A = this chain, B = another copy of it.
Amino acid sequence: MIITSTKEELLSKINIVSKAVASKTTRPILECILITADSDGVRLTANNLELSIETSNIEAQIIEKGSAAPEAKMFLEIIRNLPENNVSIETDDKNNITIKSGKSEFKIFSLPGEDFPELPLVEKNFKYEISSAMFKNMIKQTIFAVAIDETRPILTGELLEIKEDCFNIVAIDGFRVAFRTEKIENKNESINVVVPSKTLSEISRVLPDKEDEIVSIYFTDNHALFETNQFTMVSRLLEGEFFKYENSFINEHTTAIEVNRQELLSSIERATLIVKDMRKSPVELKIKENFLVITSNTDIGMSYEEVAVDFEGDDLEIGFNPKYLIDALKVIDDERITINFMSALSPCIINGIENGNYKYLILPLRLKN
């Protein structure tokens, strides 16, 4: 293989596929980036067997077709540090790869391109389209609520659900449910798959932050494929039945408040300054008339916060793991939110007011007194 390209082009594309390079593995080939130069053009590919990313053709000239798989980190570092924008990449018959730019020359060992694992084949039957920036935001607004521990593996992923004209993303860890919905064009198909949160998080990191850039999504029984005009990503799906979340979001309540999201967030963040273990030390919310009083009390000291709220229903004292409140309050787009309560031992439900596309449920912690 002999190709020429530019440092800029290579760098931007290596940065994308790098998200699918394996970091700890017993198969060295998974730590490599595959460079392919064939009659279709030049492409970069990475594949950690959970997630694979392949760029569309990059700007490059092919002098001799072929392939090679240099170690990803070393390849990235060399390209990043080249002295000039013009780069040539050349392999020899011993799988050495020579990279030249200006008066710099590197020769590093690589693995044969043929050893690189083939990408999963995904038949593109039905296409769903969504704005890239929107999809990124949907992931950000829910992904923190996936389960960390692996006792129920299905909950370490996020549910991607298409029902009628709604595209929903849902995460559940046993203590809370994060739900985000968006309208989508659909021809009566129904989709219900669980994508590992790790690959979703990598996907959201490489998706462009542009409203008008479109991601096309395809599903099979075992894979989800995400396509932009820059690259294609294929994620493995998790097997199993996701939690039936719909019935968790009941509409009844005995206490309801409406509050400025940022004010509530800042107050709870301050209250946690003196909390070392958030699972063991709840912050306490006292709702009475038009005030929400937030207190915490630990070995380190005490804190007291007052936030103005619009209030209806009964007075209430309830405790929460503050992290669960903070996680959601940080990502909701709305300026004002409502929180509905049933009792000190029942979950509360947070809704954004303006957009109406986000719901979040948290179980309370029992207060000590």
Contacts and interface: CB of A to CB of B under 8 A. Distances in A.
Interface string A73-88: 0100110011100000
A289 interface: no
Given A81-B270, A83-B266, A108-B302, 8 more contacts: A83-B267, A83-B270, A103-B306, A103-B307, A104-B305, A107-B303, A108-B300, A109-B300
Given A74-B300, A300-B74, A106 B267 contact: no
26 contacts: A74-B273, A78-B270, A78-B273, A81-B266, A81-B269, A81-B273, A83-B266, A83-B267, A83-B270, A103-B306, A104-B267, A104-B270, A104-B303, A104-B304, A105-B303, A105-B304, A105-B305, A106-B270, A106-B273, A106-B303, A107-B301, A107-B302, A107-B303, A108-B274, A108-B302, A109-B301
Of all A-B residue pairs in the complex, the 3 with the closest CB atoms, nearest first, are: A108-B301, A103-B306, A105-B304
Nearest to A81: B270
Contacts of A304: 104-106
A302 to B, nearest CB: 5
Interface of A: 74, 77-78, 81-83, 96, 103-109, 266-267, 269-270, 273-274, 300-307
A171 to B, nearest CB: 28
A295 to B, nearest CB: 9
Contacts of A81: 266, 269-270, 273
B302 A106 contact: yes
Contacts of A302: 106-108
